C-alpha cells in the first residue's frame, strides 16, 4: 500500500511540474525583493516582475563588445564604469592591470589598446584617423607633440553619440570631467609608452586630438581584443528564473557573477569586472622648491579672463610656445575666472613638482604663464589673450635644501 501511495504522489508531482512535456517556469511573488550579485563583486537588490514571471534586472554595470570590421578589433562597450557618477579615471599602470583582469562575454584576453589601435576608433577628424597625417604611432618620439596634424579640432563635432569623435555604434561618454585638469574631459588611455620619457599616448575623443601625457594621467579605459568576438549567452543549461544571478568562480579564482539567459533557459558565462585601484599618490610637493609668483597685466582688461595658467617646462626640451602638457606645477596652477586686472595683481605659488605631485623636479626649468579669455582645453591662445616666458633665464630646481623663489612678472599681449 505504501508503494502505491508513494507512486501516486510522484505522479501527481510530475503532473504539476510537466504540462505537454514542457517544464513550467518557476514563479516569484510580484514586487518581492531579493539580493543579486554583480560582476564587480557588489551585491544589489532586484524585485520580482509584476506578473511573477521573473526578476527585474540587477542594477549592475554589464559590458558588451562592438567589433569593427575595418580593423578586426572588438571593443569593450561602454568604457569602464560608464554608469558611475563622479568617476575620476585611472592611471596607466592601473589601466593595464584592469584590462588584463577583465572577463566578460566568455573572454578573458582583453588588453589595453596601443595608440595605433585606439586611433582606429577616431571618426570625423581625418588627420588623426588611421592612416591620417598625425605622426604619433607606436614607438614615436616625444617631438610628435608639435605635429599640428595631431591637434584637436572643434569640441564635440564628431559623428558619435554626444558629438564624440568615434563610431556611432559605440556607447559611453567622452565628456566625463578630469579631476586633475579643470574644465577638461578625461582622455582615453593607450598602452603605448614614449621611448624618450615614459609618457603614454592618449586620444581625446571629445575633440579628436592625439598626444602624449604623463604616466600618472587620469584617463578613461576601453579595453580591446582581436576579432571575432562572439558573446556567449549560454554556458550552463541549468533552468533558472529570468533575471536571476548567481555567484561563480573564474579560471583565475576570482569571484564573479552569472546571469540567467533568455527566458530561463540557461546561465551565461562567468563575468568578472571587479577592480581595486592602486593607493593614492603621496603628495611630495610641500617638500619641493617653489616659485612665489606675482602676476601683473600691462593694461586695463576689456573682459574678465576665463583662465590663468602657470607651469614649468624642462629647459632641454623647451620651445615657444610649449604646446604640450607641463612638466611641473599642479592643477592648482590653473585658475578659472582669475581675479586679476591692471590695479589688482594675482599671486600664485608654482611648486617645483610633477603635475600629479609624485616627484620633485630636478634640473633647469622654464616658466610659462598665460591668461586667456577662453576656458577651452587644450588651451589655444587667441587675440586678446596675454602670456609671458619667451625671454627668460632657466630656474634651477632641486639642487639642495628646498627654497622659495620670488618672482614678479608682467604679462604681454599675445601675438602670433
Q: Which residue has the higher pLDDT, 379 or 189?
A: 189
With a CB cutoff of 8 Å and minimum separation 6, the contacts of 88 are 179, 218
* Cell numbers placing 119: 586611433
For residues 135 and 210, give the distance between their C-alpha atoms in angstroms, rounded to a whole number: 10
% pLDDT > 90, the chain: 82
Q: Which residue's C-alpha cell is 575595418? A: 70
pLDDT grade for 138, boundaries at 50, 70 and 90? very high
Position 163 pLDDT exceeds 60: yes
Average pLDDT over residues 318-326: 90
Query: What pLDDT does residue 19 have?
Result: 34
**Cis geometry, peptide bond prior to residue 152 (ω within 30 degrees of 0):** no
With a CB cutoff of 8 Å and minimum separation 6, the contacts of 253 are none
All domains in the chain, ordered by first residue: 64-226 (3.10.100), 285-413 (2.60.40)
Query: What pLDDT does residue 85 have?
Result: 83
With a CB cutoff of 8 Å and minimum separation 6, the contacts of 401 are none
Average pLDDT over residues 324-351: 95
* Cell numbers placing 65: 563588445
DSSP-assigned letters across all residues of 45-106: EEEB-TTSSSBPPPS----EEEEETTTTEEEEES-TTTT-TT---B-HHHHHHHHHH-BBTT
Q: Which residues of 367-376 are buried (b: 16+ CB within 10 A; e: fewer)?
A: bbbbbbbeeb
Position 70 pLDDT exceeds 60: yes
pTM attached to this predicted model: 0.85
Position 202 pLDDT exceeds 70: yes
Query: What pLDDT does residue 184 have?
Result: 85
Query: What pLDDT does residue 14 have?
Result: 32
With a CB cutoff of 8 Å and minimum separation 6, the contacts of 45 are 33, 34, 35, 36, 59
For residues 196 and 45, give the distance between their C-alpha atoms in angstroms, rounded to a whole number: 50
Query: What pLDDT does residue 25 have?
Result: 54
The CA distances from residue 414 to 311, 387, 389, in Å, are: 17, 6, 11
Q: Are 344 and 278 in contact (CB under 8 A)?
A: no
Query: What pLDDT does residue 12 have?
Result: 34
Helical (H) or strand (E) element with 270? none
For residues 103 and 226, give the distance between their C-alpha atoms in angstroms, rounded to a whole number: 14
Per-residue three-class SS string for 174-211: CCCECCCCCCCECEEEEEEECCCCCCEEEEECCCCEEE
Q: Which residues of 94-184 form beta strands (DSSP E)? A: none
Q: What is the pLDDT of residues 211-232, one digit of tens each?
A: 999 999 999 999 999 999 898 8
% pLDDT > 70, the chain: 94
For residues 191 and 298, give the distance between their C-alpha atoms in angstroms, rounded to a whole number: 45
Q: Are 311 and 326 in contact (CB under 8 A)?
A: yes
Mean pLDDT for the chain overall: 91
Q: What is the pLDDT of residues 15-62, one digit of tens each?
A: 333 333 334 456 899 999 999 999 999 999 999 999 999 999 999 999
Amino acid at each position: 500500500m505504501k508503494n502505491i501511495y508513494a507512486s501516486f504522489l510522484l505522479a501527481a508531482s510530475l503532473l504539476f511540474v510537466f504540462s505537454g512535456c514542457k517544464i513550467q517556469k518557476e514563479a516569484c511573488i510580484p514586487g518581492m525583493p531579493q539580493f543579486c550579485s554583480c560582476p564587480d563583486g557588489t551585491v544589489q537588490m532586484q524585485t520580482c516582475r509584476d506578473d511573477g514571471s521573473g526578476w527585474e534586472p540587477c542594477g549592475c554595470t554589464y559590458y558588451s563588445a562592438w567589433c569593427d570590421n575595418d580593423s578586426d578589433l572588438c571593443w569593450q562597450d561602454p568604457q569602464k564604469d560608464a554608469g558611475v557618477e563622479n568617476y575620476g579615471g585611472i592611471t596607466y599602470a592601473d589601466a593595464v592591470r584592469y584590462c588584463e583582469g577583465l572577463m566578460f562575454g566568455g573572454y578573458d584576453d582583453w588588453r589595453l589598446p596601443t595608440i595605433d589601435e585606439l586611433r582606429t576608433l577616431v571618426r570625423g577628424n581625418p588627420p588623426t584617423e588611421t592612416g591620417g597625417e598625425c605622426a604619433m604611432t607606436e614607438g614615436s618620439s616625444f617631438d610628435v607633440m608639435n605635429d599640428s596634424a595631431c591637434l584637436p579640432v572643434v569640441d564635440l563635432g564628431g559623428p558619435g553619440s554626444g558629438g564624440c569623435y568615434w563610431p556611432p555604434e559605440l556607447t559611453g561618454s567622452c565628456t566625463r570631467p578630469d579631476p586633475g585638469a579643470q574644465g577638461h574631459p578625461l582622455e582615453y588611455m593607450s598602452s603605448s609608452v614614449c621611448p624618450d620619457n615614459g609618457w603614454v599616448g592618449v586620444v581625446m575623443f571629445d575633440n579628436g586630438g592625439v598626444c602624449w601625457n604623463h604616466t600618472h594621467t587620469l584617463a578613461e579605459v576601453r579595453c580591446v581584443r582581436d576579432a571575432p568576438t562572439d558573446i556567449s549567452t549560454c554556458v550552463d543549461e541549468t533552468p533558472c528564473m529570468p533575471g536571476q544571478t548567481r555567484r561563480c568562480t573564474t579560471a583565475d579564482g576570482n569571484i564573479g557573477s552569472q546571469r540567467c539567459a533568455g527566458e530561463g533557459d540557461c546561465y551565461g558565462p562567468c563575468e568578472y569586472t571587479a577592480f581595486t585601484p592602486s593607493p593614492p599618490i603621496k603628495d611630495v610637493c610641500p617638500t619641493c622648491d617653489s616659485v612665489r609668483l606675482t602676476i601683473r597685466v600691462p593694461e586695463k582688461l576689456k573682459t574678465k579672463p576665463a583662465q590663468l595658467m602657470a607651469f614649468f617646462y624642462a629647459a632641454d626640451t623647451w620651445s615657444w610656445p610649449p604646446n604640450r602638457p607641463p612638466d611641473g606645477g599642479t592643477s592648482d596652477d590653473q585658475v578659472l575666472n582669475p581675479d586679476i586686472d591692471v590695479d589688482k595683481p594675482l599671486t600664485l605659488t608654482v611648486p617645483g613638482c610633477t603635475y600629479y605631485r609624485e616627484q620633485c623636479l630636478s634640473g633647469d626649468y622654464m616658466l610659462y604663464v598665460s591668461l586667456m579669455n577662453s576656458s577651452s582645453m587644450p588651451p589655444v591662445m587667441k587675440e586678446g589673450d596675454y602670456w609671458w616666458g619667451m625671454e627668460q633665464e632657466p630656474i634651477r630646481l632641486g639642487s639642495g635644501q628646498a627654497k622659495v623663489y620670488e618672482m614678479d612678472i608682467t604679462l604681454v599681449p599675445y601675438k602670433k
